[in-house]
Amino acid sequence: MLNIKKIRRDFPILKRKIYGHPLVYFDNAATTQKPQKVIDTINKFYIYSNSNIHRGAHYMSDEATISYEKVRASVKSFINSKHLEEIIFTKGTTDSINLVASSFGRLIISEGDEIIITIMEHHSNIVPWQMICEEKKAKLLTIPINDKGGMLFDEFEKLLSIKTKFIAITHVSNTLGTINPIKKIINKAHLFNVPVLIDGAQAVAHTKIDVQDLDCDFYVFSAHKMYASTGVGILYGKEKWLNEMPPYQGGGSMIKSVNINKSIYSELPHKFEAGTPNIAGIMSIDPAILYMEDVGLHEIEDYEHQLLEYATQEIMKIKGVSIIGIMDDKTSILSFIVDGKHPSDIGIILDKLGVAVRTGHHCTEPLMRCLNISGTVRASFAFYNTFQEVDIFINAVKLAIKMLN
């Protein structure tokens, strides 16, 4: 059992009132709120030790470098990577995918090759692959889904061929909540010697990730969806690939030496970390991981699942509501539409009642087209949410429908 009262006290923003109502924050798939320890870490950095890292110029610079590199070790153990050098700090999931598409994509994709994604991908895991396909005259293929929002594995098997050079798949759909069978996909892909990137943006805060067990080639995620700062994220990549890949960006910190005609690049991980990063943001990842581990990843998963089941059961009692994404294997994302009502109209009324949800296509336009809808209302839960909040949300949806009738 989680001590939700105590947990909620750790997240100061949850005390807020919106239009006079207590905030019910159900937009956790967009970004999660931050516990006090994460906020304190960012503040402390600027109050006590703001310095640039990896310069070794003075005491505070060394101190900042040590704290920054400690985060790399925390992330390594959080996702169980084999080597520290396999953890690259980026600006987020989008940046990590662009790095892999630009660097690895350019290295391995040629004319006539094929890259496979699913139809449920976030735009971040579509557009970078489209760009590389356009440049290389390669083809982007999509795995379709069934009526419940589950990926069709046999269709994936049909798409695999000697032309397949890369697979990029979301671990969890940000619109449907579907958990994809990534281990099975990775195993199958590896039989064809095809490397796989997993977009873990919606998974990492909800379930335990073990990149060695998954045997994925790349795993990417954003810190802001796991209770840490915006603007920072992680690229995990197998050392053998990262070593082969050319740098994504050139500049300071990623070089050993620069001659005007040619430069020698740094070793991993610095080869992929050009320029001054968001130091405080990266430092905030450490307390966020500690917080989640303190609560317990399994306990988080369990509790969020109970919230999802309760919300699902209650929303299904409302006439005219259809849930989009009803696979058994789901994280705490509840997307729905209401007969004859526009998702954004419902969202506006929920907002006025203090309930924060997201409405629209959720950056998954191809999925929306495939489902033949323009958007959904999406409620997404975190472990600081409560069953009482689900009740408030359900009553707010009922009221919104009544008002729109």
User: Which x/- pattern over 246-265 shows residues binding ligand PMP (rule: CB under 6 A)?
Assistant: --------------------
- Interior CA angle at 227 toward 35 and 283, to 5°? 90
Using the minimum distance from each CB to ligand PMP, give the nearer residue, 170 or 376. 170
Query: Which tokens go with 335?
Result: 């997307």
Strands 376-380 and 114-118: unpaired
Query: Per CB under 6 A, does 199 bind ligand PMP?
Result: yes
> In the stretch 17-56, what mask flags binding to ligand PMP with x, by CB under 6 A?
----------------------------------------
Q: Restricting to residues 267-306, name those near ligand PMP by CB under 6 A.
A: none
- Determine how many CB atoms are found less than 10 A away from the CB of residue 261: 5
Active-site residue, from 133, 216, 363, 370: 363
180 counts as binding ligand PMP under rule CB under 6 A: no
Contacting range for ligand PMP; rule: CB under 6 A; set: 7-15, 198-206, 294-302, 353-361 = 198-206
358 contacts: CB under 8 Å, gap ≥ 6:
27, 29, 30, 347, 377, 378, 380
Select from 202, 229, 335, 359 the one that contacts ligand PMP (CB under 6 A): 202
Please work out the total of residues on this chain that contact ligand PMP, with binding judged by CB under 6 A.
Answer: 13
Q: Which is nearer to ligand PMP, 64 or 205 (CB)?
A: 205
124 touches ligand PMP by CB under 6 A = yes
Of 28, 102, 222, 284, which lies in the binding site for ligand PMP, with binding defined by CB under 6 A? 222
Tell me whether residue 123 is exposed, middle or buried, using C-beta atoms within 10 angstroms of its C-beta: 0 to 12, 13 to 18, 19 or more.
Answer: middle
Which residue has 């994404």 as its token pair?
325
Coil/strand/helix, residue 157: helix
Beta bridge partners of 114: 139, 164
Label residue 131 left, alpha or beta by phi (over 0 means left) and psi (-120 to 50 means alpha): alpha
Out of 41, 93, 142, 332, the residue judged to bind ligand PMP by CB under 6 A: 93
Q: What is the DSSP letter of 232?
A: -
Please say which residue, 92 or 247, places its beta carbon nearer to ligand PMP: 92
Identify which of residues 363 and 377 has a Cβ nearer to ligand PMP in the complex. 363
Pairwise CA distance, residues 389 & 385, whole Å: 7
Q: How far apart are CA 46 and CA 34, in angstroms?
A: 17
Strands 355-356 and 24-25: parallel
Q: Which is nearer to ligand PMP, 353 or 367 (CB)?
A: 367
Q: What are the two backbone dihedrals, phi and then psi, of residue 371, each rounded to the nearest 5 degrees?
A: -85, -5
**Contact with ligand PMP (CB under 6 A): which of 122, 206, 271, 358?**
122
By CB under 6 A, which span of 55-63, 109-117, 194-202, 287-295 interacts with ligand PMP?
194-202
Contact indicator for 50, 60 with CB cutoff of 8 Å = yes
**Strand-strand pairing, 21-22 and 17-18:** antiparallel
363 is catalytic: yes
CB of 343 to ligand PMP, least distance (A): 17
Neighbouring-strand partners of residue 143: 118
Q: Which of 170, 180, 266, 284 contacts ligand PMP by CB under 6 A?
A: 170
Residue ranges binding ligand PMP (CB under 6 A): 92-94, 122, 124-125, 170, 174, 199, 201-202, 222, 363
Give the active site residues: 363
